[in-house]
């Protein structure tokens, strides 16, 4: 094994090659990964069985064991994902804008890769295939660290991907698999070699990374998502949307954690909600006004700032849309927040005033997801306001550069007033 | 004076109002600033004279004194800049893309402000007007810290701007002027209240900020800019572009610091360059191969990593375009780098392979500037690869959010396979 700084330096050199790699070569390399994964599926499944047996012996929780499975069906899904990625247009070198600064002096803004990406991902081995494929398509080198439960599966997948792509002409060293948490800690120090870290692990781990590294981080720590049931909400719709947001999958970042209910809606809505969510086994915690309407435990101030990721829901009665917005902007994590209302003007006010990556009207918070948004594969969900926000697809792995093409122009005549800029905007082609 | 956390909290609250402020109101507020600056120009000039007298007594260098001047002509320029900004289209709420996820479930990506911006700027008081106006137009609240030389001018300008805008309906507290370096140090700790820091001071200060704050920073520390004179360069053009890049204004980030010359061009080009730059008083430092051709001091490894900001130029002879690109990607700061060549294929290779914010063909590095790029006012120049890169205009002060408008949709039927997404991309209007 080479050490992490050496791996990162190799990745940096490889990234410079990948940045100018032809789209056809990158697509051929993606096809080579797909072929190799399918050919070697028996060996991959064998490695995965070892991971499963070891993890079972170590009493890994059942949902995590399920995520760890990488069988023939999952391999076929990954191969299909790779074929879909090949079909996407070349993301690098796209002209974003063009301006003629003066006759014969043409400025273009062009997409380019970010460089070297460090990705720390959860136990699903298919994430390794998806992330490395996205990085390759977008011309980025990648250092990967998966869950230790999937160590053998990740190792064989990374080896297969490295061999297949290098044989197809990709610069060696563009992909490295890190093995330990110490490797990650070392990687997080290399802010001169690594351009972006994407952590997809537990909240605690994401926060640790945000706190310790100087490398920019794309991702989210908390997902404290809200629904606000407006005075003008249809009660049946509000019940449906609340139940789906809370219960459809509780352990994920876009699940509902706090429900805000307008005082005018609460007397009818809350008893019905109480009955409905009891059937789903949801524990409710309410503010004082909530507890006058339904018999639930008291919510403390800490509840407004807690991401339960469990069958627990905090409820607060508010007197106005403004109060709901203020609560969300204060306690929310900028992930996903929604309003249920029949009042279009109230909805528009909410959509504009709530300062979150995704803001919904009459729809479940669970829709906040790259696949559901039609972005194709998802890199992650960002609660940062810079670069990429909300669900992030291939675009989040791209930067841009300015290219200026001249014929010997100097600044002196413009500074001296002898020449003037035309700044003629060129219409986008295609 | 209120303390910095209080100021930042006020700014955050004001930012939430500004994010939903109507374009007409923001433009009226910008007009109110313009009117107030012009009406109160005598008081502004008086405050500026105090700053000038004090700074002169403290022996501030002449170029800095010149930048400090804010007289009637400069005030008129600022007023003109404000009028131009009013004329720009509303930047907030622009639809970037729209996708129908399913019938009656419409996803839009919309521009929105970043939130609260901290800006640390140099001695020019016009920067205060420009930055606060850009923040207002883009719906951001701002904490400003100017050079201490301009303390009285900045104070009166900030007071005038705050009073005029609040009278026009902008939320109070949207603009705060910090007074001391301690204030800045306190601000840099408030990563829960401030979304972005833009430092425009000295390199050392920018690096201190990047090193100490967890708040994202937009800007650049170094500007180690290169020109590569290719074998196929026109010698006269190469001389012109090199001289302008180095000498047109030496103390700025886009000035040339290292010249790379192809071995085939060096024997003719370097003696002519030596003669020409001697007339401009430029000290040359060369690699061994350079020193065999012209009598200059030896460049050490440190020279390749130094931003002189002075009449000094490091020169290295290289054997190929690849070697030039490798040198630039290793020693450069990702700011601005150019090639001079008559060979279009070589130029394209260079433009794509050099990993910098601005990459030029046959043009002076001094063109890397927001005004010259036609961006209108410039927020700064970024050497980061995330969010904004190269010269940054109003767009760099914007983020985006996803808005989803439905009619009660839940995720369960999509997860269960009863419903499928259409993911129909809507053509952009306008």
Instruction: Outline which parts of chain A fall under CATH 3.40.605.10.
Output: 4-218+379-399
Residues of chain A neighbouring B252 (CB-CB closer than 8 A): none
What average pLDDT does the segment B347-376 reach? 95
Measured between its terminal Cα atoms, the distance across chain B in Å is 47
H-helix or E-strand containing A210? helix A203-212
Rounded Cα–Cα distance for residues A92 and A23 (Å): 8
Pick one of 3.40.605.10, 3.40.50.150, 3.30.420.10, 3.40.50.720 as the CATH number of B4-218+379-399.
Answer: 3.40.605.10
Neighbours of A61 (CB within 10 A): 9
- Chain B: nearest CA to A395, how far in angstroms? 11
What average pLDDT does the segment B31-54 reach? 98
- Chain A: nearest CA to B346, how far in angstroms? 13
Count Cβ neighbours within 10 Å for each residue of B116-125 and write b for 16 or more, e otherwise.
Answer: bbbbbbbbbb
Residues of chain A neighbouring B97 (CB-CB closer than 8 A): none
The predicted structure's pLDDT at residue B233:
98
Instruction: Judge: B195–A386 Cβ closer than 8 Å, yes or no.
Output: yes
DSSP-derived 3-state class of residue A426:
strand
Residues of chain A neighbouring B427 (CB-CB closer than 8 A): none
Rounded Cα–Cα distance for residues A393 and A402 (Å): 23
**CB contact at 8 A, B381 and B373:** no
Q: What is the count of residue pairs from A and B with beta carbons less than 8 Å apart?
A: 236
Instruction: Judge: B385–A93 Cβ closer than 8 Å, yes or no.
Output: no
What average pLDDT does the segment B294-303 reach? 97
For residue A423, what is the nearest residue in chain B, using CA coordinates?
B374
pLDDT averaged per 10 residues in sequence order, chain A, 430 residues = 93 96 98 98 98 95 88 95 93 95 96 96 88 96 95 97 98 96 94 92 80 86 94 98 96 95 98 97 98 98 95 98 97 97 98 97 96 86 92 94 97 95 80
**ipTM reported for the complex surpasses 0.90:** yes
Residues of chain B neighbouring A196 (CB-CB closer than 8 A): 385-386
Instruction: Judge: B409–A356 Cβ closer than 8 Å, yes or no.
Output: no
pTM for this predicted structure: 0.92
Instruction: Judge: B214–A216 Cβ closer than 8 Å, yes or no.
Output: no
Instruction: Judge: A16–B329 Cβ closer than 8 Å, yes or no.
Output: yes
- Three-state SS for chain B is CCCHHHHHHHHHHHHHHHHCCCHHHHHHHHHHHHHHHHHCHHHHHHHHHHHHHHHHHCCCCHHHHHHHCCCHHHHHHHHHHHHHHHHCCCCCCCEEEEEEEECCEEEEEEEEECCEEEEECCCCCHHHHHHHHHHHHCCCEEEEECCHHHHHHHHHHHHHHHHHHHHCCCCCCCEEECCCHHHHHHHCCCCCCCCEEEECCCHHHHHHHHHHCCCCECCCCCCCEEEEECCCCCHHHHHHHHHHHHHCCCCCCCCEEEEEEECCCHHHHHHHHHHHHHHCCCEEEECHHHHCCCCCEECCHHHHCCCCCCCEEEEEEECCHHHHHHHHHHHCCCCEEEEECCCHHHHHHHHHHCCCCEEEEEECHHHCCCCCCCCCCCCEEECCCCCCCEEECHHHHEEEEEEEEEEEECCHHHHCCCCCCCCEEECCCC
Count Cβ neighbours within 10 Å for each residue of A253-285 and write b for 16 or more, e otherwise.
Answer: bbbbbbbbbbeebbeebbeebbeebeeeebebb
Nearest to A399 among B352, B389, B406 (CB): B389
Q: In what order do the strands lie in the sheet with B424-426?
A: A297-298, A283-286, A312-318, A256-262, A225-229, A336-340, A358-363, B398-409, B105-113, B95-102, B424-426
Does residue B429 have a pLDDT over 60? no
Instruction: Judge: A19–B407 Cβ closer than 8 Å, yes or no.
Output: no
The predicted structure's pLDDT at residue B293:
98
Instruction: Judge: B411–A366 Cβ closer than 8 Å, yes or no.
Output: yes
Instruction: Outline which parts of chain B fall under CATH 3.40.309.10.
Output: 225-367
For residue B114, what is the nearest residue in chain A, using CA coordinates?
A385
Residues of chain A neighbouring B105 (CB-CB closer than 8 A): 363, 367
* Average pLDDT score over chain B: 94
Q: Which of A274, A46, A144, A23 is nearest to B352 (CA)?
A: A23
Tokens of A313: 């829901």
Instruction: Judge: B195–A412 Cβ closer than 8 Å, yes or no.
Output: no
CATH code of the region A225-367 = 3.40.309.10
Nearest to B385 among A20, A114, A356 (CB): A114
Instruction: Judge: A351–B405 Cβ closer than 8 Å, yes or no.
Output: yes
The torsion region of residue B258 among left (phi > 0), alpha (psi -120 to 50) and beta comes to beta
- Three-state SS for A334-346 is CCEEEEECCCHHH
Residues of chain B neighbouring A114 (CB-CB closer than 8 A): 385-386
CA dihedral B388, B394, B399, B402 (to 10 degrees): -120
Higher pLDDT, B286 or A210: B286
Instruction: Judge: B355–A408 Cβ closer than 8 Å, yes or no.
Output: no
Nearest to B364 among A16, A353, A409 (CB): A409
Instruction: Judge: A196–B386 Cβ closer than 8 Å, yes or no.
Output: yes
Instruction: Judge: B351–A248 Cβ closer than 8 Å, yes or no.
Output: no
pLDDT in tens, B8-42: 999 999 999 999 999 999 999 999 999 999 999 99
Does residue B108 have a pLDDT over 70? yes
Interface test with A, best of B207, B239, B405 (most A CBs within 10 A): B405
């Amino acid at each position: 094994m080479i050490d992490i700084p050496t791996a990162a330096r190799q990745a940096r050199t490889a990234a410079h090659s990948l940045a100018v790699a032809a789209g056809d070569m990158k697509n051929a390399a993606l096809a080579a990964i797909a072929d190799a994964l399918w050919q070697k599926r028996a060996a991959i499944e064998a490695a995965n069985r070892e991971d499963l047996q070891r993890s079972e012996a170590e009493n890994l929780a059942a949902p995590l064991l399920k995520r760890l499975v990488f069988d023939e069906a999952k391999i076929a899904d990954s191969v299909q994902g790779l074929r879909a990625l090949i079909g996407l247009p070349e993301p690098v070198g796209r002209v974003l804008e063009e301006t003629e600064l003066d006759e014969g002096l043409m400025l273009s803004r062009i997409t380019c890769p970010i460089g070297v990406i460090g990705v720390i991902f959860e136990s699903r081995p298919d994430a390794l295939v998806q992330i490395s494929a996205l990085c390759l398509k977008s011309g980025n080198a990648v250092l990967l660290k998966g869950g230790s439960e999937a160590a053998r599966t990740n190792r064989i997948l990374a080896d297969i991907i490295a061999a297949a792509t290098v044989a197809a002409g990709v610069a060696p060293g563009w992909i490295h698999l890190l093995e330990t948490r110490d490797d990650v800690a070392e990687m997080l120090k290399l802010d001169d070699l690594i351009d972006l870290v994407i952590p997809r692990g537990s909240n605690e781990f994401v926060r640790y990374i945000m706190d310790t590294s100087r490398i920019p981080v794309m991702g989210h720590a908390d997902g404290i998502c809200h629904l606000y049931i407006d005075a003008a909400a249809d009660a049946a719709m509000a019940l449906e949307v609340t139940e789906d947001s809370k219960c459809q999958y509780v352990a994920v970042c876009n699940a509902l954690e706090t429900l805000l209910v307008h005082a005018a809606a609460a007397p009818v809505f809350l008893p019905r909600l109480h009955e409905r969510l009891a059937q789903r086994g949801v524990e409710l915690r309410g503010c004082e006004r909530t507890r006058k309407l339904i018999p639930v435990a008291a919510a403390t101030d800490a509840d407004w700032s807690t991401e339960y990721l469990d069958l627990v829901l905090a409820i607060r009665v508010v007197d106005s849309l403004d109060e709901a917005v203020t609560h969300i902007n204060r306690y929310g994590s900028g992930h996903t927040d929604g309003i249920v209302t029949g009042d279009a003007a109230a909805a528009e006010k909410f959509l504009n005033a709530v300062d979150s990556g995704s803001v919904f009207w009459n729809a479940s918070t669970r829709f906040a997801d790259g696949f559901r948004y039609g972005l194709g594969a998802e890199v992650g969900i960002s609660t940062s306001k810079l670069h990429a926000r909300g669900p992030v697809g291939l675009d989040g792995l791209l930067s841009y550069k300015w290219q200026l093409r001249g014929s010997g122009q100097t600044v002196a005549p413009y500074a001296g007033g002898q020449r003037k800029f035309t700044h003629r905007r060129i219409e986008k082609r295609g």
